[in-house]
Amino acid sequence: MLEIIRHMVADGPKTVGPFHHAVSAGDFHFITGQMPTSPDDPTKVVAGGIEEQTRRVMDNLALVLKGIGSGFDRVVFARVYLVNFQDFAKMNSVYETYFAEGGLPSRTCIGVTGLAVGALVEVDLIAAK
C-alpha cells in the first residue's frame, strides 16, 4: 500500500484554508500552492507588485520545502497561476532565480480570473524525494 504522509511545517506560512503544506506519496512531495502573504498572517498580501509577490510566494515555498527536508533542487514540476498575463516576464525574472542554472523544473503557467486574498500569483510544486 502507498504510504501517504501529510506535512504541516512548524516554520511554514500560516495557511489560508483547510489543507496541509505538503503531502508525500510514493517518490514525490506535492507542495500546496503558496500565496504572497507574510508567513505569520495569511490574510494580507505583501506590499508591492508582481515581483514582490512572486518573491514572497517563492520564499514561502522555500519554507515548506526546507520543512520537509527538500529544496528547489528537487523540484520536478511547477504550476504558476497568474491573474494578469502581462506580468509573465516580471514573474519569470524573479521565479528563475530560485533555481540553479540548468535546474529549472517543467512548468505550466495558467491565467486565472482571481486568487485567494487578492493575490496576483500563486505557485505549487512537485518535488522528488
Q: From first to last of the 129 residues of the chain, give the pLDDT tens digit.
A: 999 999 999 989 998 889 999 999 999 999 999 999 998 899 899 999 999 999 999 999 999 999 999 999 999 999 999 999 999 999 999 999 999 999 999 999 999 999 999 999 999 999 999
CA distance 98 to 58: 7
**Cβ neighbours of 1 (radius 10 Å):** 3
Question: Which pLDDT score, from 0 to 100, does residue 40 have?
Answer: 87
CA distance 118 to 24: 29
**23 with 29: CB under 8 angstroms?**
yes
Domain map (residue ranges) of the chain:
4-128
Question: Which pLDDT score, from 0 to 100, does residue 61 have?
Answer: 98
Question: Which pLDDT score, from 0 to 100, does residue 116 have?
Answer: 93
Question: Which pLDDT score, from 0 to 100, does residue 52 have?
Answer: 98
Question: Which pLDDT score, from 0 to 100, does residue 106 have?
Answer: 98
Question: Which pLDDT score, from 0 to 100, does residue 17 have?
Answer: 87
For 4-128, CATH number out of 2.40.50.140, 3.20.20.140, 3.30.1330.40, 3.40.190.10 equals 3.30.1330.40
Structure-block grid coordinates of residue 61: 515555498
Question: Which pLDDT score, from 0 to 100, does residue 65 have?
Answer: 98
